[in-house]
């Protein structure tokens, strides 16, 4: 385990069928582990289902992109904010697919009672609400929302006392490997100047990215000391101090995400880079986390736990 410390809905005509409720008797009551033991599908909800990542997750679950893995994953809830224009509509056509008999809803409590795991790619405020609500139904969570504020982090910490939570700023398996390599490099090169560069599409709202901050935190942790973070540089900054760790953000075009950690020494430099060419990689990681977290004990976990990287 890692040491890091909505009410309108149209009734679904098929919501009581076995296809959409394979384990209603155990919903929110520790049923996930039982489902896995008897090889029933893990029922998954998507919170923030109409966001960029949410739609990818919905399509992935409906199309069975991860169907070769066991246990199977089944979409049984798609949640959005109150007053969303697509509330009460079948989620399939809303996401560019055919009808599937499952409506977009803002009834979070009901959605949580119909899932074994909820995947969250929403906003910090919405994540805080989800974490608090999940405690009431004992629902495991996979949280990929970034730029989490203090209230959201506190809600996650509280929820983790009751339910297992996978929380990561980046669900890509490759980024998890990058972080493992980064920690080894930072520890082996303690006196090298470390800098982080991140590139994202023009529509990204936050800077630096959550992943860039995660990389910086990993460097500091491996070295056992805090750094003087420099979020960009401008003007007469003077020579670089040994205590600095720079994070530079670049925005443009449709770049999905690219992160490079530099270690500058005298006469050499080391670069460790991860490039995401499609958001599908984040969805696959989130689905892998959902499958894994369903059988875990309460606590906060990271993707390194999901991947078994200890």
Catalytic residues: 200, 204
Q: Nearest CA to 302 among 211, 169, 117?
A: 169
How many residues make up the chain in this entry?
310
The DSSP output letter for 3 is -
Torsion angles phi and psi, residue 198, rounded to 5: -130, 140
- How far apart are alpha carbons 68 and 193 in whole angstroms? 44
Residues in Cβ contact with 188 at an 8 Å cutoff, skipping those fewer than 6 apart: none
Burial annotation 237-265 (CB, 10 A radius, 16+ → b, else e): eeeeeeebbbbbbeeeeebebbbbbbbee
| 3-class SS of residue 43 | strand
- How far apart are alpha carbons 109 and 106 in whole angstroms? 9
| Separate counts of helices (H) and strands (E) for the chain | 10, 12
CB atoms within 10 A of CB 233: 10
**Strand ranges, E, within the chain:** 42-47, 73-79, 104-105, 117-120, 141-143, 164-167, 193-200, 228-230, 244-251, 257-264, 269-276, 299-301
């Amino acid at each position: 385990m890692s040491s890091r410390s909505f009410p309108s809905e149209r009734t679904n005509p098929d919501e009581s069928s076995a296809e959409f409720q394979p384990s209603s008797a155990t919903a929110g009551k520790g049923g996930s582990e039982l489902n896995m033991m008897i090889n029933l599908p893990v029922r998954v909800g998507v919170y923030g289902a109409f966001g960029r990542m949410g739609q990818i997750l919905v399509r992935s679950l409906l199309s069975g992109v991860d169907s070769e893995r066991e246990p199977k994953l089944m979409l049984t809830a798609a949640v959005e904010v109150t007053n969303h224009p697509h509330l009460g509509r079948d989620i399939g056509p809303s996401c560019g697919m055919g009808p599937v008999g499952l409506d977009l809803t803002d009834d979070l409590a009901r959605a949580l009672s119909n899932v074994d795991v909820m995947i969250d790619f929403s906003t910090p405020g919405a994540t805080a609400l989800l974490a608090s609500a999940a405690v009431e139904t004992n629902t495991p969570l996979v949280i990929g929302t970034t730029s989490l504020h203090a209230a959201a982090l506190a809600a996650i910490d509280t929820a983790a006392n009751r339910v297992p939570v996978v929380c990561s700023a980046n669900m890509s398996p490759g980024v998890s490997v990058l972080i493992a390599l980064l920690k080894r490099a930072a520890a082996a090169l303690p006196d090298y100047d470390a800098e982080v560069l991140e590139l994202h599409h023009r529509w990204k709202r936050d800077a630096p990215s959550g992943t860039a901050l995660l990389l910086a935190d990993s460097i500091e942790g491996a070295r056992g000391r805090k750094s003087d973070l420099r979020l960009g540089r401008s003007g007469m900054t003077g020579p670089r101090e040994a205590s600095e760790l720079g994070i530079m953000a670049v925005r443009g075009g449709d770049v999905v995400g690219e992160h490079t950690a530099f270690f500058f020494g005298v006469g050499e430099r080391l670069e460790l880079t991860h490039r995401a060419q499609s958001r599908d990689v984040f969805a696959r990681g989130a689905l892998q986390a959902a499958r894994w977290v369903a059988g875990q004990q309460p606590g906060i976990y990271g993707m390194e736990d999901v991947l078994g990287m200890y």
